[in-house]
Chain A
Amino acid sequence: MATGSLATTTTEKRRRKRSSGIPVFVPLLFLLPAILLLIAFRYIPAFSAVYHSFTDWTGTNNAAFVGLAQYQTLLADPVFWTSLRNVLLYTFGRTVLTTVMAFLAAELVYNLRNRQSQWLWRVTFTLPMVIPGTVVLLIWRQIYAARLGLLNESLRALGLEQWAQPWLGQTNTALLAIIMIGFPLVSGFSFLVISSALMELSSEINEASLLDGCSPLRRIFAIDIPSIIGPSVLVIILGINAGLQEFAPMLIITSGGPANATQTPGLYLYQIAFTYGKFGYATAIGTVLMILTLGFSYFILRARYRGATDVEVQ
């Protein structure tokens, strides 16, 4: 199989060279600037971070090698473990909710018969993508305010005064409040990916299922979901990657509080580096975070391709 592929590839290269007259490596030259930038701004910082996690770097000093000392500190740091627990809860909750809600929204749009209505709802769900994330967070900060906040004032107006809470001021509600930012949680990107995947489904299969008496709900579970596992996994992996590294909502809304209830490794890393000047320790946190993200992505991808029938596995 491998030899066959190689032979095919070589033949293909020769064919392309003959047909266009351009050596196959010329396009690579056009990729060169992008690759250089990728190396300069992604790979070198990543490797540099791993290296600096074994030093006592303060951001400006001549860093001295300290072996595994930063990792030992990390293991004994209760704030780090609290932040890890928080980010796992946040990532799980957020990924499940955003994926499910994006899927529901995409299904609703997919099942609309009127093309114009489909277009209108697609625009409605994706338009919020143009609003800067920081603005969204600042708006939600006001929504959650105990006094004059939209949420509590709405509850009071509905006669549900007893449900009004200092949402961000209690350890038992603060993380939940952060997870629910952006309610109804239809992420424009996830919606677009899943919606596009649904649109790609063959209309013949749908028609056949209808002729066979398949209800729309049955069709969703028997046809739609199995057919869009690939794009859904992409959405989930990106969601997990983003979730594990999340720090902007916590930074802007709660600073990780109260009493570390919304602290995350990403925010903790940022505070350790830029407030306390302990870059060596911060890079150790970053390295652990990177390993976690890679690990999660690997296991999800493995699970996705195990026994998969919708992709050609070579």
Chain B
Amino acid sequence: MRKRMQLLIGTMVILAMVLSACAVPVAAPATGDAAAAPAASDAAAGAKQTLTVFLQCYYDPNVEADTAAVAEELVAEYETLHPDVDIQLVPNLPAGQDVETYLTARMAATESPDIMWQQFNTRNQRGDTWWVPLNDIFEMPNPYIEAGQPGSERWADSFQDYVLNQTRAADSNWYQASLDWVETGYYYNKEIFAAAGVDPANWNSWGDFVADMTKIKETQKVDALGAFVKQQGWSNWWWADDIFLTVAWADAAPDLYMEKYNDSSRPWRQMTPEEIAKAIIDGKLTATDPRMDDYLRMSKEFISILPADYNGIASLDDLDVPFFSGALASIWTGTWKNKLYTAQIPFDYGITYLPPFTTEDAAGAQNTAYRVGGPSSCGQYGIAKSAADAGKLDLATDFLMFIAAPQNFERLAVSYGGYIPMVKGADAGEVMANFTDISALPERLMSDPPDRLGPENGDAWSQAMQAFFLGQTDEAQTKEVLQKLWMDGAMKQCADQQYDWCPAQ
């Protein structure tokens, strides 16, 4: 009997431990009007309202301690203004940890950071299933911007138009505030270029560029340009792909735009996902068009000046060693490398860019190059739907506005030194010095492959082009594959977004 009692008690203890371990913690009651009066509501509740914030590289204490300290200072200042708010910064993920896996698991468990970083294209694909649309919030005044300055009456006014244009989702919503920007350029080894007798100042066309890069490759026995092609996910070949498509279709751009997105002050702009889908379905944008011959030819010419294993390079970082050691004459990279390169490049280097594309290069060319600036930076922040469901939307909005105020965001951006602030009134710091000319170029007509018709379609585009580069498909077959991808992607977008112009399915 005694043994049975012991056994029973033992079993109950184990079960109690298991149950308590599995129990869901009871959530603190959420308040609704955090921004307006967080102090009052929380004082009544007798507890601080907590907001979790993931600032990506702007809060990475192990890697960028100085910038992390600036972020902590900003949080302290905010908490001084709002004593009943507790802002918890979530450290950036360690290198190699997949943010999408991290985020998917947390979203499924409604445990995402309330303000969260995500690449804008993936974020736009998730749309309102994960994120709060910011359209109405962008119309509100930002109380942290000095009166009379852009954004003080309407927050959206503090952002550049092209930033808003490029970050708009296929459903026309904005799901993130893009506070900074990455610009790209060609860092080149002046010694190797001089030895080959090449001066970028003499490039007047794409043809000149290819001829000189080929000359460098052949005479100096080095790889001419650091770029690579990946079948899944980002590679800097995407930038080339955007530019070649842009060049090939530049003359047709006005016909591809939709009236509702037109802005008389910006006759040239990047196409939105909706415009791309409509142009494809209307038969205006087709991969079987002769323009695509120019696109495919320029793509192959580009590949010819890359390292031999351009199809097998896993990361742009892998090209740093050959570049630093003189085995690679130039590398196409972005402002985020500025700090590292300034400190570590052991030779005299310069920054240049693609020359203008002429009609000899492609029939549709408009005698210009195009910048590959974009919002793929650290300052992309959205508000998780779970935060709104928990009653924290106003607080999240208020803190996001606080961070986005030029005097605050400038401190983070200048400390980090890798991205260009896109908040009007914020100083860009030293990072911008080498990119002034490049940033004056017109933007791309076409965005990166996954931003056109979704990530899956974009990866399929990369794979089709890889097959073309490897000789698995010829030009005719490739055009056929690309056309199918475009049409399938456009129809899927129609099915998902239910645009009023979509054909009946």
Across the interface, B232 reaches (CB within 8 A) one of A29, A33, A147, A255, namely: A255
In the complex, A145 has a CB within 8 A of chain B: yes
* Given known A255-B230, A258-B311, A275-B455, contact A148–B321 (CB-CB < 8 A): yes
Restricting to A228-258, which residues have a CB under 8 Å from any CB of B? 252-258
Beta-carbon contact of A274 and B98 below 8 Å: yes
- The docked-state distance in angstroms from the alpha carbon of A274 to that of B118 is 13
Instruction: Give the A-B pair count, Cβ closer than 8 A.
Output: 122
Contact A61 B129, beta carbon cutoff 8 Å: yes
Say if the beta carbon of A45 comes within 8 Å of chain B. Answer: no
Which chain A residue shows the least CB distance to B472?
A: A259
Residue of B with least CB distance to A137: B314
Q: Is B38 positioned at the interface, with any CB of A under 8 Å from its CB? A: no
* Smallest beta-carbon distance A53→chain B, Å: 17
* Contact A258–B312 (Cβ < 8 Å): yes
* Residues of chain B from 91 to 133 with CB closer than 8 A to chain A in the complex: 96, 98, 100-101, 104, 107-108, 122, 125-126, 129-130
Chain B, residues 5-24, CB within 8 Å of chain A (1/0): the string is: 00100110010001000000
Q: A311 — which chain B residues lie within 8 A by C-beta?
A: none
* Separation of A277 and B455 alpha carbons in the complex (Å): 10
Verify if B65 is at the interface (C-beta below 8 Å from A): no
Residue from B125, B223, B312 with most neighbouring chain A CB atoms (10 Å): B312
Hey, which chain A residues are within 8 Å of B18, CB to CB? 33, 36
B312 touches A276 (CB 8 A): no
| A contact residues around B309 at 8 Å (CB) | 144-147, 166-169
User: Does A277 contact B7, Cβ atoms closer than 8 Å?
Assistant: no
Residues 261 to 293 of chain A near chain B (Cβ within 8 Å): 271, 273-277
Name the interface residues of A12-37: CB closer than 8 Å to any CB of B.
Answer: 23, 26, 29, 32-33, 36
Selected contact of A254 from candidates B126, B129, B310, B312, CB within 8 Å = B312
- A 131-157 to B, binary, CB cutoff 8 A, 1 in contact else 0: 000100000011011111000000000
Tell me which residues across on chain B come within 8 A of A29, comparing CB atoms.
7, 10-11, 14
Question: Does B328 sit at the interface, judged by CB under 8 A?
Answer: yes
Interface hits, B398-448 → A, CB 8 Å? none
When the two chains form the complex, which single residue of A148, A168, A274 contacts B101, counting CB atoms closer than 8 Å? A274
Pick from A168, A259, A276 the residue with the most CB of B within 10 Å.
Answer: A259
Q: Which residues of B450-505 have CB atoms within 8 Å of chain A's CB atoms? A: 455-456, 459, 463, 466-467, 470, 472
Across-interface contacts of B129 in A (CB, < 8 A): 58, 60-61
Chain A residues near B459 (CB-CB < 8 A): 271, 275
Tell me how far the C-beta of A267 lies from the nearest C-beta in chain B, rounded to whole angstroms. Answer: 9
Interface size range on A against B: 35 or more
- List the A side residues contacting B126 at CB < 8 Å: 277
Also in contact, A259 and B321, with CB within 8 A (given A60-B108, A61-B129): no
A59, B107: Cβ atoms under 8 Å? Answer: yes
Q: Are B100 and A59 in contact (CB under 8 A)?
A: no
Is the C-beta of B318 less than 8 angstroms from some C-beta in chain A?
Answer: yes
Shortest CB distance A274–B (Å): 5
When the two chains form their complex, are residues A260 and B307 in contact, meaning their CB atoms are under 8 A apart?
no
State which of B96, B100, B231, B456 has its C-beta within 8 Å of the C-beta of A256. B231
Contacts of B318 in A (CB 8 A): 141-142, 145
Q: Is A171 an interface residue (CB 8 A)?
A: yes
Query: Bound state CA distance, A277 and B100, in angstroms?
Result: 10
A11 close to B (CB within 8 Å): no
Kindly list chain B residues whose C-beta atoms are within 8 Å of the C-beta of A274: 98, 100-101, 104
What residues of B have a CB within 8 angstroms of the CB of A256 in the complex? 231-232
Does residue A174 face the partner (Cβ distance < 8 Å to B)? Answer: yes
> From residue B453, how far is it (CB to closest CB) to chain A in Å?
13
Q: From residue 272 to 314 of chain B, which have CB atoms closer than 8 A to chain A?
A: 307-314
B322-340 CB mask vs A (1 if < 8 Å, else 0) is 1001011000000000000
Identify which of B130, B308, B321 contacts A60 (C-beta below 8 A).
Answer: B130
Q: Of all chain B residues, which has the CB nearest A255?
A: B232
Interface check B197, CB cutoff 8 A: no
Whether B233 pairs with A147 at a CB distance below 8 angstroms is no
Q: Are the C-beta atoms of A257 and B14 separated by less than 8 Å? A: no
**Quick one: which of A134, A167, A277 contacts B312, CB cutoff 8 A?**
A167
Shortest CB-to-CB span from A85 to chain B, Å, is 16
Do A147 and B130 touch across chains, with their CB atoms under 8 A apart? no
Q: Is A170 located at the chain interface by the 8 A CB criterion?
A: yes
Cβ contact within 8 Å between A258 and B322: no
B260 at the interface (CB under 8 A from A): no
Q: Contact between A275 and B312 (Cβ–Cβ < 8 Å)?
A: no
Tell me, rounded to whole Å, the shortest Cβ–Cβ distance linking B213 to chain A.
16
Pick 9 A–B contacts, CB within 8 A, sort by A. A141-B314, A144-B312, A146-B308, A255-B230, A258-B231, A258-B312, A260-B231, A271-B232, A274-B101
User: Could you tell me which A residues sit within 8 Å of B by CB distance?
Assistant: 23, 26, 29, 32-33, 36, 58-61, 134, 141-142, 144-148, 166-171, 174, 252-260, 271, 273-277
Not counting A58-B129, A61-B129, A141-B318, a sample of 10 additional A-B residue pairs whose C-beta atoms are within 8 angstroms of each other reads A23-B7, A59-B107, A59-B108, A166-B307, A166-B311, A167-B309, A168-B309, A258-B470, A259-B463, A271-B232
